[in-house]
Amino acid sequence: MDITRRQFGFFATAVPVATFAAGGPALAAGAPSALGSAPDVPAAMRRAAVFFDEHLSHRGGYVWSYLPDLSRTWGEMAAERTMCWVQPPGTPSVGHSLLDAYHATGDETFWRAAERTGLALAEVQLPGGGWNYVHDFAGEKSLRRWYETVGASGWRLEEFQHYYGNATFDDAGTSTAAQLILRLYLERRDPRFRAALDRVLRFLLKAQLKGGIVDGGWPQRFPRVSGAVTDTPWPEVLPPWLPSDIRHGMEDGDYTGHVTFNDDVLGENIKFLLMCMATLGKTELAGPIRRAMECLRRLQQPGPQAGWGLQHLARAAGGRPAGAPAGARSYEPRALATHTTQTNVQQLFHYFRLTGDHNFLAGVPAALSWLDSCRLTPQQLAENPLLAGRTHPTFVELGTNRARFVHRFGSNVRNGAYYSDYDHRATLSHYSGGRAVDTAGLRKTYDELMALTPREVADLKARSPLSGETIPLPRYFSLRDLQLTDLFRDAPMPLPVVTDEEAQGLADKLVGGEYWLSASDATTNPYLGPAPETPYLGKAYMSKHVGDVYDTSPYDPANPPEEPPYVPTPRPQVISTSTYVANMGKLIAWRAG
């Protein structure tokens, strides 16, 4: 077996491998060797980028989707035209795609668009150095009004129901924006990007928790703010069918200050710090990186429940010690999380590859044994179609090791609420009660890593971005999610194979030669004012993405609640940033292949 592929956990593939260094363009614009029999495709790529930059963006910033006439726009919720969404697949995602297109073509059109997007991110960067999910170029007053209306009415989007005014690590918003700023700075050493880069580096190091068992971790939001939400309302009138043995609310108060593993916050921050260390020669970042890795290892719970929660207490509270699993949003109960455990085991594999330290593998067998102990039962799978394709419950109760399932009652944010119990039926559609956990794949990787010889481990360490050597960034960021192993010196970067015919077909699908349309599975009700508190005692909204017409949460118009005035309607055709990034990624691979 090829030693490089074995060490990284990569195996033989039919996809050609192309490894690139960071820096200038890969090909000169119009280079005939890459054009094949589809010479019009580069021009189509350019037109699509110009449309996004000059027509679709607002001052270089993007949301997630747009009606073609721009009369309605959406991020994770309905957005004002003056907004930009930092949370992927928003502004940073488009920026990475534009920069990738520049690397593939050498066309300055893509560079200018990427630069404008990066400067938009630098403009909306908070003074402390991080980013919020969303920014409104119309000013803070306009943003607060949005939070108080649209945000506050989104029943299932609790992170938008309150304006904190601080930055978030959630959903990779800050890390993805920071990575784009770093890439743009490295390209031409523009001091405007260096200033933004220095701010976010200071922010990450300042936000990193210090001391005790949680040393090295990060909270979900920073800095902490007074008046943060500590619980969600519990209606006075409850449906008569509500079980008696339920738990509800934010069980550990303001979750934004807890150590979080949600959406791989720790891994994303480590990735960015490694990028800075490897490209800027900042060897002093090795300490914070190692502290973060040790935090993850240290917060693994003791057997027999040797997993992790979405959140862990940053400080002792309620008779529970710092580091104990904690609840977060009201539909994230205090429990262990199987998908988070899978992600953290994968991170431990990366940390071993980075360091050669077998201590990072020591807890893996216990984690896999725990995952084996709490699989979904055949009955649970048979009686809940929403669990199809899942292997494990999302949440597992501390102590009892029983699956805990989350439900809701009511019809909106004022008359409804979330709760959890042991009933596996009628679970949420917007937050799955089950997860697909590949324990066999995890065991296979563990066995492979344990079988590495001392020479192979030493070779890994020598090529690690922790080695102190300067290592260029991967050439392309938008073709797939980058892993920590992609940052190693000489890491393979296979490009997808895209034929001339496929590339030309994508170019031909551009509407008016400028943008792609795709059916969106999300629309929203307009804000109608504060939702009524009138009790709703039915069950029509339990397993739907949206409540009544006062709920501003996104939902699939083809599958609405079975309650008037909802009726199924066709999905709207939208200009989508995720579609743009996906299609442009194929054209980038074609151009660079």
pLDDT in tens, 208-219: 999 999 999 999
Structure confidence at residue 557 as a pLDDT band (50, 70, 90): very high
Are 337 and 433 spatial neighbours (Cβ–Cβ below 8 Å)?
no
For helices 191-207 and 173-188, angle between their N-to-C axes, nearest 10 degrees: 140
Region 332-342 average pLDDT: 98
Q: What is the pLDDT of residues 49-67, one digit of tens each?
A: 999 999 999 999 999 999 9
In this prediction, residue 37 carries a pLDDT of 62
Structure confidence at residue 38 as a pLDDT band (50, 70, 90): confident
- Of 473, 508, 501, 502, the residue nearest 487 (C-alpha): 473
Dihedral angle computed from the Cα positions of residues 320, 321, 327 and 329, in that order, rounded to the nearest 10 degrees: 110
Q: What percent of the chain has pLDDT over 70?
A: 94
CA distances from 44 to 66, 86, 116, 498 (A): 20, 26, 20, 16
Amino acid at position 165, single letter:
G
Ramachandran assignment for 216, one of left (phi > 0), alpha (psi -120 to 50 degrees), beta (any other): left
Dihedral angle computed from the Cα positions of residues 192, 225, 394 and 371, in that order, rounded to the nearest 10 degrees: 80
Share the mean pLDDT of the chain. 93
Q: Per-residue DSSP letters for 79-139? A: E-TTEEE-STTSHHHHHHHHHHHHHHH--HHHHHHHHHHHHHHHHHS-TTS---SEEETT-
Backbone phi, psi, residue 331, to 5°: -105, 20
In this prediction, residue 221 carries a pLDDT of 98
pLDDT exceeds cutoff 80 at 353: yes
pLDDT exceeds cutoff 50 at 23: no
Tokens of 521: 């599975």
Dihedral angle computed from the Cα positions of residues 292, 297, 298 and 302, in that order, rounded to the nearest 10 degrees: 160
Tokens of 124: 């909306």
Region 542-570 average pLDDT: 98
Q: What is the pLDDT of residues 116-132, one digit of tens each?
A: 999 999 999 999 999 99
Q: What percent of the chain has pLDDT over 90?
A: 92
Tokens of 390: 């899942």
pTM beyond cutoff 0.85: yes
Produce one character per residue of 165-200: b if its CB has 16 or more CB atoms within 10 Å, e if not. ebbbbbbbbbbbbbbbbbbbbbbeebeebbebbebb
Region 177-196 average pLDDT: 98
- Determine the 3-state secondary structure of 190 from DSSP: coil
Tokens of 523: 């629309």
pLDDT exceeds cutoff 90 at 2: no
- Of 558, 557, 567, 563, the residue nearest 411 (C-alpha): 563
Q: Per-residue DSSP letters for 137-171? A: TT-HHHHHHHHHTTGGG-TT-GGGSS---SEE-GG
